[in-house]
Structure 1
Amino acid sequence: MEIADLLKLNALVLWAAFAVAVVFGFIAQRTHFCTMGAISDIVNMGDWTRMRMWGMAVGIAMIGFYGMAWLGWIDPNQSIYTGNRVIWLSATLGGLLFGFGMVLASGCGSKTLVRIGAGSLKSLVVFFVMGFAAFATLRGVTAVLRVNTVDKVSFEMASGSALPAWLASLTGMEPTLTGLVFALVVGGALVVWALVGQDFRNANNLLAGIGLGLVVIAMWWVSGRLGFVAEHPETLEAVYLGSNTGRMEALTFTAPMAFTLDWIIFFSDTSKALTFGIVTVAGMVVGALVCALLEGSFRWEGFRSTQDTALHLTGAVCMGVGGVTALGCTVGQGMSGLSTLSLTSIIAVTGIVLGAIGGFRFQIWLLDRE
């Protein structure tokens, strides 16, 4: 492959990622899909409907991910979620911090982008603060603290942290077939659980569950299949085009917010190129904006009070620091990561849920205090 062909393919990968992110943003705005909202519905009303949306989406994404691996389209070991090192403490504490922060900030990173598209100025503020905190935790002062403390606590899994790979190493089964069977059992159970829910089977809920599950699958295909070049013409090494991590990527929004700010600030620096994460951030906002305009729900929104401002700023910092520490957010670990059946992702999502419950308890305490 010549350099000119490589550049054309790179542009195609980025446009494809942007288009898929637009679909995600549109569906999320249309269906009110929100992981924090799902947890809130359960805690406050005992309503599992939005959690069933999430469960169906994750289940479909699992089946699609390992289906593509079985077909040989993607390599399940080439993602940040399935590495040999399980940073369980970082995943736990980062997840707790992210979950607590998303409650204070009225939504996770993906919801923040969707709300920006729908006219929320306070979500725009959350985006800048969260992106700044994420960048500091990637390369700045909190990065030094993270690397020298929690990231040092881990254990190794020789087969990788994906549960199917671990099971294959124990049983001697073929890894991709094991992954497909594992995904069909676990993912299928999640889909069935969603469908048996009372009043779940309507167009809106099915659009969220099926549509977003397919979006995650599409992102893995774009990055891991379309964007994979076995031999770069200059380095002669395998490369995933548009990747920030050098590996196959899907949707995640904490670190990409930092990359987006970095690209905007240093736009004239020719070394700063558009990447997979940056275009998906933009795509989310555009998709939500299109949906909000079409359905007439676009509304300008600002902070209600000084306390509201303080809570959102605090929540944004917690999400930026926690999301990078945990290697992902409710979409990064909660959908993309879980689709790989990664042990690290399971730990991180557990931390996010517990952190969110703590955030709700804190809000109740604030109301009682007032």
Structure 2
Amino acid sequence: MEQLIDQFGEPRLLVFSGAVVGLLFGAAAGHSRFCLRAATVEVAERRFGPKLAIWLVAFSAALALVQLAIVTGHLDVSSARQIAGTGSLSGAVFGGLMFGVGMILARGCASRLLVLSASGNLRTIVTGLVLTLTAQAAYRGVLAPAREMLAGLWTVPGGPDRLLAEASLPLGLAAASALIVALIFGRIRGARPTELFAAALVGAAVFLGWIVTHAIAAASFEVVQVQSVTFTGPSADTLMALVNERSLPMSFGLGLVPGVFVGALGVALLKGEARIQRFGADTPMERYLVGGVLMGFGSMLAGGCAVGAGLSGGAILALTAWVAVFCMWIGAVATHSLLDLRWRRAAAT
């Protein structure tokens, strides 16, 4: 790694690493149709099927690989922002609930919107732009005071207090066992083997993100953030840089977002699924726009999206990440149940 840093420099190496991780994630998520929203819909409808299995496989794979790497000394995430910095439990609760509601309205979480946009889905492109702009407004713009007020209601100091549990070999083995159970469950519920394998690769991409940024940070004389796959922050930073800067600042996120797009596009073309999709009578724009706003603000308040908090943060046992993803589940299941009840009443009349 020292030789690579000397030859290319940390910024270029980070961009390249982000692109590789993004390609893997985009291709795997595209083929497996990995989506937290789809899993919550199955739970809300009491159909514990392949979509839930896909999410469980991805989550278990990320958790098992990351925890085993920490236990064996190959990974140190103590400097990751999800652990080292001051966290917000109130932000995780309110932000997670908002994100869960938003992804039901927009019919996809942040990562799913990016993957679908690569196949020509104009609805997800518009929703993703709204999500990104709202996230930027919540981070540095007009919505920042509201975010800071909600986040400040209940905070937790960085360090051990932000860990749900210490990494241990039994925990890593338990996560590996959960992965095996999720794979078996997926096959029983009708998921194809290639989809389950791709779901495991989604978790592996999260693991790879932690590993490569840790390796670069350990070998660099500069301060390099140890991080993994997340979408709201990198998407907002990339968009704002395109608008405001003559040259893009090189970072892991700068390579990640285009990498995911290219990986998902490749899978969509190979499977013949690339086609233009627009808003219609059954897909009203206002519903997607509201969903995008809720996800943009919610992800910034919660400290991550369904992948940034749910997989990347969850894999390192960050307390706020687990609270956030739990609240995403609650918000999504409740929202879908209420909408489903409304549709049934309307159909009955």
- TM exceeds 0.5? yes
Deviation at residue 54 of structure 1 after TM alignment: 1.7
Aligned partners of 1:161, 1:350: CA distance in 2, in Å?
16
Deviation at residue 230 of structure 1 after TM alignment: 4.3
SS in 2 for 1:66: helix
Return 127-136 or 72-81, whichever deviates more: 72-81
Structure 1 counterpart of 2:231, from 250, 253, 264: 253
Aligned partners of 2:283, 2:260: CA distance in 1, in Å?
28
Matched-pair contact (CA < 8 Å) for 2:62–2:311: yes
Deviation at residue 159 of structure 1 after TM alignment: 2.0
Query: Which residue is 2:286 aligned to?
Result: 310
- Give the aligned length: 343
Query: Which residue is 1:295 aligned to?
Result: 271
- TM-score, normalization: structure 2? 0.90
Partner deviation per Cα, 1:309-363 (whole Å, 9 max, x = no partner): 0000000000000001001111111111110112211110111001111321343
Query: Which residue is 1:175 aligned to?
Result: none
Matched-pair contact (CA < 8 Å) for 1:17–1:219: yes
Query: Which residue is 2:257 aligned to?
Result: 281
Query: Which residue is 1:21 aligned to?
Result: 22
Matched-pair contact (CA < 8 Å) for 1:113–1:127: yes
Partner deviation per Cα, 1:174-205 (whole Å, 9 max, x = no partner): xxxx43432222x1242133133124574233
Q: Does 1:333 align with 2:321?
A: no
Return 313-322 or 57-66, whichever deviates more: 57-66
Aligned partners of 1:361, 1:188: CA distance in 2, in Å?
32
Aligned partners of 2:273, 2:283: CA distance in 1, in Å?
26
Matched-pair contact (CA < 8 Å) for 2:30–2:268: yes
Partner deviation per Cα, 1:120-168 (whole Å, 9 max, x = no partner): 0111101111000000111112111111333342234762422333xxx
1:349 alignment partner AA: V
Aligned partners of 2:287, 2:47: CA distance in 1, in Å?
25
Return 51-60 or 85-94, whichever deviates more: 51-60
Query: Which residue is 1:126 aligned to?
Result: 127
1:111 alignment partner AA: R
- TM-score, normalization: structure 1? 0.85
Matched-pair contact (CA < 8 Å) for 1:84–1:160: no
Q: Does 1:217 align with 2:207?
A: yes
Structure 2 counterpart of 1:346, from 303, 311, 322: 322
Return 323-332 or 146-155, whichever deviates more: 146-155
Aligned partners of 1:12, 1:205: CA distance in 2, in Å?
30
Q: Does 1:262 align with 2:240?
A: yes
SS in 2 for 1:317: helix
Matched-pair contact (CA < 8 Å) for 1:130–1:257: no
> Where in structure 2 are the equivalents of 1:62-81 lying within 5 Å?
62-81=63-82
SS in 2 for 1:163: coil
Change (3 A) 1:313 1:78: same
Query: Which residue is 1:244 aligned to?
Result: none
Aligned partners of 1:14, 1:333: CA distance in 2, in Å?
21
1:224 alignment partner AA: H
Structure 2 residues not aligned, in runs of 5+: none
Deviation at residue 71 of structure 1 after TM alignment: 3.7
Query: Which residue is 2:6 aligned to?
Result: 5
Aligned partners of 2:82, 2:156: CA distance in 1, in Å?
14
SS in 2 for 1:164: coil
Deviation at residue 306 of structure 1 after TM alignment: 9.2
Aligned partners of 2:195, 2:51: CA distance in 1, in Å?
8
Query: Percentage identity across aligned positions?
Result: 27
Change (3 A) 1:83 1:125: same
Query: Which residue is 2:334 aligned to?
Result: 358
Query: Which residue is 1:174 aligned to?
Result: none
Matched-pair contact (CA < 8 Å) for 1:127–1:257: no
2:263 alignment partner AA: G
